[in-house]
Structure 1
Amino acid sequence: MWTLTLFLSSLLAASFFYPLEFQFGQILLIDHLGLIISTAVALFSSIVLSYSARYLAGHTKLRRFLINCALFAISAILMAVANHILLFIASWLSMGLFMAELIGGYTQYHEGKASRKNARNYFLGSTALVGAGLLWLAILTGAWSISEIISFVKSDSQLAAWGPSLLLIGGAVVQSALFPFQRWLMSSMTAPTPASALMHAGFVNAGAVLLTRTAPVLYVSDLLWVLVLVGGIGALIGKFSKFVQANIKQKLACSTTAQMGFMLLQCGLGFFSAAVTHLILHGFYKAYLFLSSGKNIEQKSPYNGDNKRSWKQWYLPVTLLSGLAGGWLFALTTGKGLEINSGLFLTFVIVLTVIHGAQDFLGRSSLPLLSRLIALPIVVIPFLLAYAVVFNSISTLMQQVPMAEMAVPIAWDQLTIGVLYLATFLAIELKWYKKSRRLYVYLLNVSQPKSNTILQ
């Protein structure tokens, strides 16, 4: 809690310097986006370093681990404030190389070495895509800084930027471990728990920073629909894959792919500031889950016979009303969903999320039924209000970031993902997915790590 409070305090301090934009030649660009990401990275890395010093106490490679964590954090901060495309590419590459070392460099087993090599190959591929996309833009515009490229793109709406945009999207998808590139994340379980926390809290989120920096290019190329489809489908596969996992860290990995899919989906809807908000909140949440994952280890029967609920007819209308109320509160506090555009689709996803969360709360709580019904709004309302505060704060600070928030019309891509989301919601809530062995086998296979990275 204190870390989130410190982060919010940093945002409040930053608001006193609004608008903020310092350029150091073509090398660095320090604006509110860079400040937000740098603050988050500094907080996450300081927590992980402090935890690691105790968690790995006595390990022969502790000093090396801490140095690599610090170098990774420096690389991530440089990426957030880089303006020259060569510096951005170099920091993106160094992030990947340091993370690959954190994943597999601290075990004597051959699985660790295989995991490090596998991750490094993916990260080199991601760097190649991002580098090619940025260099292509530099050739098209004649500019070598991101700010100058964006200025050129905004003044030339006819720029043929679809090629660079596809490359940048590809790099973001690989970094975010979305289907079909999720295997590197599933194969990274050899990493020490602090490294996993740093990876899931910060590294996989870098795709949102890249896409937010280059948002005008994506608008001009008219390829936001690709992000909607890729992000939406990736989120669905990650969500379903989580259900077939028994290992705690593998469950968290599948959850991360689902969250990263939703993050890129928000970029596709034109709400890059919402994606950055998601990046921050997911980082806090996932870092906490990894660093506290040990307490969730328990021996438990897969079928405990407590699935029958005599009050089933009660919680269905209650959860539906909770979802509608949550969607209304989200629209009222953030302004999304009040018009017929992509904000309405985002509110629809929030409604489904609140319904699912409400049903999970009612089904798992040990409180009596009446107490659960009373406690439900007490839990949901503060959560949505807290999200609205963070979202509105970040959106306000990012107003100077080019096209950080620009709703797009509802189109076929959003309708397609909306239908898939609704079908997925019904399949999960009504347990339809448990009736298909073929689906179970597919999800198990698609979410498996490479065989040579599994600890024997």
Structure 2
Amino acid sequence: MTYLLTLFFISIVLAVISGIVYLIPKVPTRYVHVHLVIVSIPVFIAFIGLVFMNEMIDIGFWHLDTLSWLLAFFILSIGLILQRFSVRYLDGDAQYRKYFALFTFLTTLASVAWLSNDLRLMTCLWGLTLFCLTLLIGLNAKWQITKRVARSTSVIFFVSWLALLIAMFMTYNVTGEWNQSLIFKGDNLAQFKSWQGIVIQLLLVLSVIIPAAQWPFHKWLIESVAVPTPVSAIMHAGIVNVGGVILTRFAPIFTNEWVITLLIIIATVSVLIGSGISLVHVDYKRQLVGSTIGQMGFMLIQCALGVYSAAIVHLILHGLFKATLFLRSGSAVRHFDMPSRMNESVSYIWVLLGRLLAIIIGIMFWLMAPTNSYQIISALILAWSLSVSWTQLVAFGEGKLGRIIGLVALVIVGAAYFAVHHLFHDLLYQYSIYSNETPLLAVIIMVILLLIGSGLNLWIGRNQSSKFVTIIYLWLIHIGEAKTQNIETHPHYLKNHLFKGGYKHD
């Protein structure tokens, strides 16, 4: 494994050097294809590490296990896909070369950060990752909006990184160790029961909810919709997922029931707000922003409930799915036409049948492990998701054939999800960190909030013309909008280039 790690870092260094070389103006633009080949090498090596990793190994500053290689492979793969997409998408941009260099730097730093076993190295690498993202956001210096967004984002990212930095120094003060493997062993864990341990956990919560765009720090992601689509994709597919990674790595010390309850409340509110934003806004990228806020909230709930393997699976599948949605955003068309049979009694019979089926399956799922706290939440979410999917795909399907096709699609998607979920779960089971004790108070609050949100959703659907619904609708529109000074129907700086033939990069 030492040789594989050496090869991995050699390939990483070559990718970084290639990105720097591409910044030289004399290097032909077509060199980008050579650069993509070089960037693909560490992806291949990380995949080999993932396949053949069957133990946990500490080598110097590095901690190698299945989770480390999985994260490295995922991050580098996303980076490669986005750079390949940008070859044509960003063609003609004045900063064309810089985008590829910064994409390479960002994904390289992020992948190496989660291989590190030293708290100082991990914190520095993650800080540099956020710095590269800030540079990407403000790369178009001629557009004032992205410059303002980059400035505001850099401030809030610094707060997140500073919270992580203080938490790491306090961890060293409590344990006397910088090595993660030693921090979680022996008497060191008992030290986190003190007030210092609670402060460390609170700082970790602050450091993860900011990049995850959780309430009340969700505005930075809403403001960022002005950036180019590949930059948005790398934010939504990679950067926002860091909360699940950090909490998974520090799971053994994340045990205080009041801190866990606080995280669940913040994440649940974010799920409701994010879902509301994605429903009321018509702008496609803003809908994706709302979806990301909600999905990251659910991922943090999984962490708070101690199911870290589910959180890792969630962040990987969400990253791939959200990257796909952003890369196809230019051709996305949303239709709001309601089915013509919506008032027919037969449709409502199918709806009721679907809800009954969802309840039965949810109860059966819960009975598999009735004492597992996360199983309760999963059963509720599974029943709700199945009910919604049944309504959309089966109840309002076009005729008998449409219902059959909808049912087959629902079965295939469900089977594929469970197959992928169990594959990753088995892969991570022996090498991920688990916390089996979930505070009962946190579970009760989570269930109550989910039921309130579901009930509110049903009530709104039946009382769409009421004053209360109008107020909620307008409020969701408001919180989903960027600041006025960060909204521009058309980049004004482009007017200066309209009659100059546009940008050229040889």
TM-score when scaled to structure 1? 0.88
State the Cα deviation string for residues 381-415 of structure 1 (Å, max 9, x = none): 33233222222232223234463352525x23322
| C-alpha distance in structure 2 between counterparts of 1:388 and 1:153, whole Å | 37
SS at 2:434's partner residue? coil
Q: What's the counterpart of residue 116 of structure 1?
A: 150
Q: How does 1:113-152 map to 2 (within 5 A)?
A: 113-151=147-185, 152=187
* 8 Å Cα contact 1:319-1:355 kept in structure 2: yes
Which amino acid in structure 2 is aligned with residue 452 of structure 1?
Q
The secondary structure found in structure 1 opposite 2:230 is helix
Structure 1 CA distance, aligned partners of 2:256 and 2:433? 11
Tell me which of 354, 370, 375 is aligned to 2:386.
354
What residue identity is the alignment partner of 1:350? Answer: L
Q: Deviations over 1:22-75 (max 9, x none)?
A: 2122x2212111111111111111100000011011222111001111111011
Between the aligned partners of 1:362 and 1:255, the Cα distance in structure 2 is 24
Structure-2 residue corresponding to 1:341: 373
The CA distance in 2 between the partners of 1:315 and 1:101, in whole Å, is: 52
Whole-Å separation in 2 of the counterparts to 1:41 and 1:109: 29
Superposed CA deviations along residues 75-112 of structure 1, whole A, max 9, x for unmatched, are 11022212211111112111111112222312622101
2:358 counterpart letter in structure 1: G
**SS of residue in 1 equivalent to 2:238:** helix
Counterpart selection for 1:386 from 412, 416, 432? 416
Structure 1 Cα separation of the partners of residues 341 and 458 of structure 2: 13
Residue in 2 aligned with 1:22? 57
Aligned-partner residue type, residue 239 of structure 1: S
Q: Determine the C-alpha separation between the residues in 2 that align with 1:330 and 1:56.
A: 47
Indicate whether 1:276 and 2:306 are aligned.
Answer: no
Task: Name the CA distance, whole Å, in 2 between partners of 1:67 and 1:364.
Answer: 48
Cα deviation code 1:165-211 (max 9, x no counterpart): 00001110001001100100000012111111111001100111000
CA offset digits 1:106-139 (Å, max 9, x no partner): 2622101011111111111110111111211111
Q: Judging changes above 3 Å, is the alpha-carbon distance between structure 1 residues 385 and 288 closer, same or farther for their aligned structure 2 residues?
A: same
**Alpha-carbon distance in 2 for matches of 1:326, 1:381:** 13
Could you tell me how far apart the structure 1 residues matched to 2:341 and 2:207 are? 42
8 A contact 2:53–2:66 mirrored in 1? no
Which residue of 425, 450, 458 corresponds with 1:395?
425
Percentage identity across paired residues of the two chains:
24
1:164 pairs with 2:225: no
C-alpha change, 1:371 and 1:91, in structure 2 (3 Å) is same
Alignment of 1:197-346 (within 5 A): 197-219=233-255, 223-297=259-333, 308-310=342-344, 311-324=346-359, 326-327=361-362, 337-346=369-378
User: C-alpha deviations, 1:363-396, integer Å up to 9, x for none?
Assistant: 665x32x234433442233323322222223222
Amino acid at match of 2:206: G
Which stretch of structure 1 is more off in the superposition, 302-311 or 351-360? Answer: 302-311
- Contact between 1:326 and 1:380, CA under 8 Å: does it hold in 2? no
Structure 2 match to 1:98:
132
* Kept after mapping to 2: 8 A contact 1:326/1:381: no
How many residue pairs were aligned? 440
User: Are the equivalent residues in 1 in contact too, given 2:299–2:314 (CA < 8 A)?
Assistant: yes
**Alpha-carbon separation, structure 1, partners of 2:272 and 2:309:** 22
SS state at 2:54 partner: coil
| Distance in 1 between residues matched to 2:136 and 2:327, nearest whole Å | 16
When residues 280 and 38 of structure 1 are mapped into structure 2, their CA distance, relative to the original with a 3 A threshold, is same
The CA distance in 1 between the partners of 2:375 and 2:315, in whole Å, is 18
Say which SS state the counterpart of residue 34 (structure 1) adopts. helix
- Corresponding residue number in structure 2 for 1:3: none
2:224 aligned partner, one-letter code: S
Q: Does 1:76 align with 2:113?
A: no
Tell me, in whole angstroms, the C-alpha distance in 2 between the residues paired with 1:361 and 1:439. 28
Which structure is larger by alpha-carbon Rg, 1 or 2? 2
1:42 corresponds in structure 2 to 76
Residue pair 2:393, 2:407 contacting (<8 A) in 1 also: no
Distance in 1 separating the partners of 2:204 and 2:359: 36
Partner-residue secondary structure (3-state), 1:60? coil
TM-aligned CA deviation for residue 296 of structure 1? 1.7
Distance 2:149 2:155 in 1: 10
**What amino acid does structure 1 have at the position aligned with 2:98?**
R
The amino acid across from 1:70 in the alignment is T
CA deviations on 1:124-158 (whole Å, 9 max, x unpaired) are: 11101111112111111111122222225446574
Q: Is the 8 A contact 1:226 1:268 kept in 2?
A: no
What's the CA shift for 1:16? 4.3
Cα distance change, pair 291–385 in 1 and its aligned pair in 2 (3 A):
same
Contact 2:394–2:407 (Cα < 8 Å) also in 1 = no
* CA distance 1:186–1:158, shift in 2 (3 Å): closer
| CA RMSD, Structure 1 to Structure 2 (Å) | 2.8
* CA gap 1:307/1:269 in 2 versus in 1, 3 angstroms: farther
Asked if structure 1 preserves the Cα contact closer than 8 Å seen for 2:118 and 2:178, the reply is yes
For residues 31 and 48 of structure 1, what CA distance do their matches in structure 2 show?
A: 26
**Letter of the structure 2 residue corresponding to residue 384 of structure 1:** G
Q: Given that residues 233 and 326 in structure 2 are in contact (C-alpha distance below 8 angstroms), is that contact kept between their aligned partners in structure 1?
A: yes
Work out the CA distance in 1 between the residues paired with 2:431 and 2:329. Answer: 37
Specify the alignment match of 2:448 in structure 1. 419
Residues 153 and 159 of structure 1 are in contact (CA less than 8 Å); yes or no, is this contact kept in structure 2?
no
Give how far 1:159 is off: 4.5
Q: What SS does the corresponding residue of 2:226 show, helix, strand or coil?
A: coil
Gaps of 5+ in 2: 1-42, 490-506
Q: Per-residue deviation at 1:276?
A: 0.5
